[in-house]
Structure 1
Amino acid sequence: MRLPLDREPSARDLVVLGVPYDESGRCPGTRLGPGAVRDVSALAHVPGADRGPGTFDLVDCVDAGDIDLTPWDSGSLPGVLYKRLAHLLDGNAAVLLLGGGRSLTVAALRSVAERHGPVALLHLAADPVGPHPAGDVLHQAVEERLVDPSAVVRIGLRGAGGPGRAPGGVVLDVGRFGGLGVRGAVGVVRHRIGRRPVYVSVAVDVADPAFAPGTGTRVPGGLTSREVLGLLRCVGDLCPVGFEVLGVSPPQDRSGITAALAAEIGGELIHQYARAQRIPM
């Protein structure tokens, strides 16, 4: 988004950090995501430009580059990412991660919860796949007391996701979301999360493959781009303390529309962060 590069930022409102990581280091996929999102974001419409003052006139935001990860050593990810995020959060208000595989979510929550205590979670994703033995990063986050299980809303699950997949929280799978619509889903989010500190996790595969073909998900029936972006407009009514946009795999999408959607999501989250700080607009 043409943000200035600052690899050691301090006293910033928001820091963007790329996490070039694949769930499997054998074939490059999502580890190319942060670079693809940056490339397309240089030309992308910045959300908020048509809603009053420019987003980056309201929020002091910089790009801290990519975290240095070895693609063949998945075991090093949690420790390396946790240390980098803890360092950034010591001197800055919040971080927006661009990924990368979804294995980074628990490590990110560790650093955020260390500062804010157990947080609420707004999680948009097509499925609950993760590194935990139960197959779900949420269970691990709840076990480690990183997340308040009563303040979890998961939206967009299709296939294996059921009500039991979010202990104590709410699951709006694609069927329930379709019945409620964006406005109804926003009401659920506001009611369940309220003013608790909330971490916002968006896996781009929450969108239907027609809108995000570069995620590896081939199950139809996901949200439209407009629904995803419309839903995220409620984040400014909450108390967000961290963000991640995950799952872009450029080799699976030569058109680049998946990276373009991820860039729009990232920009929307930055704009909503400004709203949440009650910056006049």
Structure 2
Amino acid sequence: MERIDQPARSRARPHTFMRLPLDRDPTARDLVVLGVPYDESGRCPGTRLGPGAVRDASAFAHVPGADRGPGTFDLVDCVDGGDLDLTPWISGAASDVLYKRLSHLLAGNAAVLLLGGSRSLTLAALRAVAEIHGPVALLRLAADPAGSHLHGDVLYQAVDEHLVDPSAMVRIGLRGAGDSGRAQGGVMLDVGRFGRLGVRGAAGFVRHRIGRRPVYVSVAVDVADPAFAPGTGIRVPGGLTSREVLGLLRCVGDLCPVGFEVMGVSPPQDRSGITAALASEIGGELIHQYARAQRILM
């Protein structure tokens, strides 16, 4: 697959993830990257700027998998589909736009990677994915249970609408979830339990729990400690290191992933840009693991 030929530090357009080809109406692709620039509220705005910041940071990122064999982009057909045109703070309208766009993309392409953007849009993504694959397994890395009022009861609704199989739902990195997190079903590996298991133990648990079910992988950057990802709406100390996040995601290649998202990047909260840099590495790692899962890479 031919990537855009420009210097790694170039800010010239087209502005794409890891300098992938830009294709706003892709068909028959292995994976399509899609930006979802959206803020869910005015309390701590900024996630609408996330996709652009992640794409900028990705110009400096290494080609995923380059240290582990053949380059991913030489073996998987991946393009950047640009950004959705979303109106900030009108969640119903934004969800409808995303659902329709993803339904169209997944009808003609194998998988998507969302860059965002508010996590309130996860429900719309799950609706589109489940329309193709039925109730899916869910691997979610996030600091909060996402069933609180902060993110619109996303998981409650997903389970209630039979978009997600609660017996194959694993959430990792939670801090202070309490009873509300446990009530959503599935299995929680909060930071304490994750610390006891370690990356290898947690990865083995994920493989055993999810198996070969179709799985949607959702990563919120706040799963990482604020030292590694300060640019997010709510900073919760005590999270995973960036190395732990990336190491854990290597188990995704042993699963059957059908969609991905990297959400919650808020550039105004992080002038250093390290949050967007981490998000771009996560996105690249997920693409590499998708290729592994398709047995393109072994």
Normalised by the length of structure 1, the TM-score is 0.96
Q: Distance in 1 between matches of 2:94 and 2:20?
A: 26
Residue 50 of structure 1 corresponds to 67
1:93 aligns to 2:117 (yes or no): no
1:4 to 4, 15, 21: 21
On the 8 A contact 1:132/1:139 being kept in 2, the answer is: no
Tell me the secondary structure at the aligned position of residue 278 of structure 2. Answer: helix
On the 8 A contact 1:163/1:171 being kept in 2, the answer is: no
Q: Distance in 2 between matches of 1:220 and 1:213?
A: 10
Q: Aligned pair count?
A: 281
Distance 1:180 1:21, change over 3 A: same
| RMSD value, Cα | 1.7
2:221 partner amino acid: V
On the 8 A contact 2:147/2:184 being kept in 1, the answer is: no
2:47 partner amino acid: T
Normalised by the length of structure 2, the TM-score is 0.90
2:106 partner amino acid: L
Matches within 5 A, 1:112-131: 112-129=129-146
2:208 partner amino acid: H
Q: Distance in 2 between matches of 1:249 and 1:185?
A: 28
Residue 252 of structure 1 corresponds to 269
- How far has the Cα of 1:72 moved from its partner? 4.1
- How far has the Cα of 1:58 moved from its partner? 1.3
Distance 1:72 1:133, change over 3 A: closer
Residue 229 of structure 1 corresponds to 246
- How far has the Cα of 1:47 moved from its partner? 2.3
Residue 7 of structure 2 corresponds to none
Residue 65 of structure 1 corresponds to 82
Could you tell which deviates more after superposition, 13-22 or 210-219? 210-219
1:76 aligns to 2:111 (yes or no): no
- How far has the Cα of 1:134 moved from its partner? 9.4
Q: Percent identity?
A: 87
1:212 aligns to 2:241 (yes or no): no
Distance 1:133 1:156, change over 3 A: closer
1:110 to 115, 122, 127: 127
Residue 220 of structure 2 corresponds to 203
2:254 partner amino acid: D
Tell me the secondary structure at the aligned position of residue 103 of structure 1. Answer: helix
1:154 aligns to 2:160 (yes or no): no
Tell me the secondary structure at the aligned position of residue 180 of structure 1. Answer: helix
Distance 1:176 1:250, change over 3 A: same
- How far has the Cα of 1:165 moved from its partner? 2.7
Cα deviation 1:61-80 (Å, max 9, x = unaligned): 00000001111422201111
Q: Distance in 1 between matches of 2:297 and 2:191?
A: 35
Q: Distance in 1 between matches of 2:248 and 2:194?
A: 11
Distance 1:188 1:162, change over 3 A: farther
Distance 1:251 1:133, change over 3 A: closer
